[in-house]
Amino acid sequence: MARPRRFGCERKDGKLAMFAIIGIIVVFGCVAAGYLMEHGNLRVLVQPAELIIIGGAAIGTLLVANPMHILKKIAGGIGGVFGSSKFSRQTYIDTLKMMYDLLNKARKDGLMALEGDVEEPEKSAVFTKNPAFLKNHHVRDFVCDSLRMAITGVDAFDLDQMLDLDLEVHHQDSSQPTAALSTMADSLPGLGIVAAVLGVVITMGALGGPPEEIGNKVAAALVGTFLGILLCYGLVGPIAANMTKAAEEEHAFLYVMRVLMVSFLKGTAPIMAVEVARRAVPGHVRPSFKELEAACRNKTPDAAPPDAPTEETPGAPPDAPPEESADAAAASS
């Protein structure tokens, strides 16, 4: 007997979650390695005062320019950069299979049969099979609110317009944290210049001192410019770009749910609505037709079809044992 499929956002390529950390190590490691190859002194690059000026001013501008709800989204987005994607191929398979079961229920018993599922999704026998769906409140609310409108009698065309508006608002909300972080990244080179100018001011005040002291102060001033540019293009900017791609992944997932629900409400059979939605899945995570069909039919993709009845036992059921079929044939003769 085949083991039941596990539902969730597990992904086979979990090692990809470390790519962000590996990338940061490569950036700073290569910069330090090249500096050491030219016989540089790493102690010169350690300038806590310059880092406080640049980092503190950058964080301050972020606090001034953004309200609290955007700051919370920025913090959550940065944490998501160092985690795995929520929308892997397996996530799409599990969710489309769950929606297939839900739409089959609506086709057999009517849309009103889904009222209990959408009103209390935590108690739904269909939704509870997919814990990742319940944890993602954006996707859960999008699906449940849309089906709630369909139950109340909203037709497919009006619901499609409503979902398009919902996706547009979601896109605007998800782009605000990344835009704020990108603005902060763009300000880092300028703040590095500010730190360098302050270092030059300190150097000008020490012109009467020994040459070694003046050289150290000039080096510290130039480190400010170096840190500002490195943090902009080597750390904060790439993190903002990663957050943008994560927001696009969620937007694409919601679009697939929109295509699925609208297609069903237009009269398409559940299995065909799932196939239409599969065509809307991004290519790098799109499951194959056989994978999705096997999930919806509760089969394994490589399962062999059942043997057809032989000519000697035309009336025997497909799952009848050979012994019983032979006895039945003998009795009939």
Residues 239-298: pLDDT tens digits?
Answer: 999 999 999 999 999 999 999 999 999 999 999 999 999 999 999 999 999 999 888 887
Average pLDDT over residues 66-91: 89
10: pLDDT strictly greater than 50: no
Q: Is residue 220 part of a domain?
A: yes
Average pLDDT over residues 126-153: 91
Q: Is residue 258 part of a domain?
A: yes
pLDDT at 222: 92
For the ranges 13-17, 25-29, 261-265, the lowest mean pLDDT is seen at 13-17
Domain that holds residue 40: 15-86+167-296
Q: Is residue 68 part of a domain?
A: yes
pLDDT at 214: 85
Q: Is residue 332 part of a domain?
A: no
Cβ atoms of 17 and 82 within 8 Å: the answer is yes
- Chain mean pLDDT for the chain: 84
CA distance 54 to 62: 12
Q: Is residue 262 part of a domain?
A: yes
Element of type H or E holding 197: helix 156-204
Other C-beta atoms lying within 10 Å of the C-beta of residue 58: 21
- Does the pTM exceed 0.85? no
Average pLDDT over residues 206-222: 83
- pLDDT band of residue 319 (cuts 50, 70, 90) is very low
CA distance 192 to 293: 56
Average pLDDT over residues 105-126: 91
- pLDDT band of residue 181 (cuts 50, 70, 90) is very high
Q: Is residue 199 part of a domain?
A: yes
pLDDT at 44: 86
CA distance 215 to 288: 64
For the ranges 26-40, 208-222, 233-247, the lowest mean pLDDT is seen at 208-222
pLDDT at 84: 75
**Which residue is listed with tokens 């089959």?**
104
SS3 state of residue 142? helix
Q: Is residue 229 part of a domain?
A: yes
- pLDDT band of residue 95 (cuts 50, 70, 90) is very high
Q: Is residue 188 part of a domain?
A: yes
CA distance 113 to 80: 37
Number of domains in the chain: 1
Cβ atoms of 251 and 281 within 8 Å: the answer is no
